[in-house]
Amino acid sequence: MKSNNIPYVIVIIIQAIYAAMFILSKAAFDHGMNNFVFVFYRQSAATIFLIPFALFFEWKTAPPLPFTTFCKIFFISFIGITASLDIYGIALIKTSATLASATTNCLPVITFFLALLFRIEVLKVKTAAGAAKLAGVVACLGGAATLAFYKGPHLQLLSHFHFLGNYHKTQQQHQGHDWIKGCFLMLLSNTFWGMWLVLQIFIIKGYPSKLLLTTLQCFLSSIQSLVVALAVERDLEQWKLGWNVRLLAVLYCGIMVTGVTYYLQTWVIEKRGPVFLAMSTPLALIMTMFSSVILLGEIISLGSLLGSCALVLGLYFVLWGKSREQMPKSSEDLEQASCLNETNK
């Protein structure tokens, strides 16, 4: 395989891992697993997996950790991981794996909007790039509204297969107000996730050891999610993990999603940049949509399909506007480099 094609293979693997995460999480919840307990087990598995790597690669070179920085890390761990995942679990129970995958396409748009509020980004509406970003925000809002309020006819493709999920239970959960609440909770979860991404910028400046930072956040979120789970769920039966889809979902999300995907995403961003990685996000939606129909017996509605397309369209508008803004900077850098070369001759 040519080295130029390796990043394309890696992003397909990344999105396949995320698609499997949506499917397995939904299957675990359909089989009665408490979502708060699930988050605790997931983060604990991620912490145990990451600790040896963090200690081996970054322990000796890690800078000291001031108390104020620790408090900031504790806060963003609660907002971006514990609260985000707990809300995501509630939303996933009320909706579907396809919707969960679809709403991740609006994450770059939400992150961009939050970056505007924190004045990290600038929106110039009169330019083509600024207009594209604004159109992306509007498309995402329209897509989210379509997902929440419009069902339309059902596209019953292979819906008689449901290997991992409880078909009738799933369809009952997709009715009425629960679906609308689930859509808004999913957007709220992505908003907390986007806030976590934005606030990471300020944390990394003071604590640049990324692997240790990730491990510490997983550890802190494990403690936080344990407190939340103990407060919500007192039934000991809900805490038991057998050799079933519950254990598989916990280990998969903790090791594959948090551990393996973290490294793969870092590698892709280093080789091709964050835009290249973000452009591959709709692949997870396509994989999840077909897999959930076959494995979980989900019925895809026309509204879900149209809303998902609008979210993907909004994603590409924002990414195009972002790349358009970076083009003049690149040309200026080339001109400055050529001037320096001429001066050195």
Write out the residue range of the structural domain in which residue 87 sits: 3-344
**DSSP class per residue in 134-185:** HHHHHHHHHHHHHHHH---SEE-SSTT--SSS-HHHHHHHTSHHHHHHHHHH
Sign of CA dihedral 177, 281, 192, 17: positive
Domains identified in the chain, total number: 1
Per-residue pLDDT of the chain (345 residues; tens, 9 = 90+): 566 678 888 989 999 999 999 999 988 888 889 999 999 999 999 999 999 988 988 888 888 999 999 999 999 999 989 999 999 999 999 888 888 888 888 887 887 788 778 777 777 878 888 888 888 888 888 888 888 788 778 776 545 455 555 544 444 445 567 888 888 999 999 999 888 878 887 888 888 888 898 899 999 999 999 999 999 988 888 888 888 888 999 999 988 987 788 778 877 877 777 667 777 888 888 888 888 877 777 777 888 888 889 888 988 888 888 777 766 554 444 444 444 344 344
Cα angle for residues 29, 259, 276 (degrees, 5° grid) = 100
Q: Is residue 141 classed exposed, middle or buried when 0-12, 13-18 and 19+ CB atoms within 10 A define those classes? A: middle
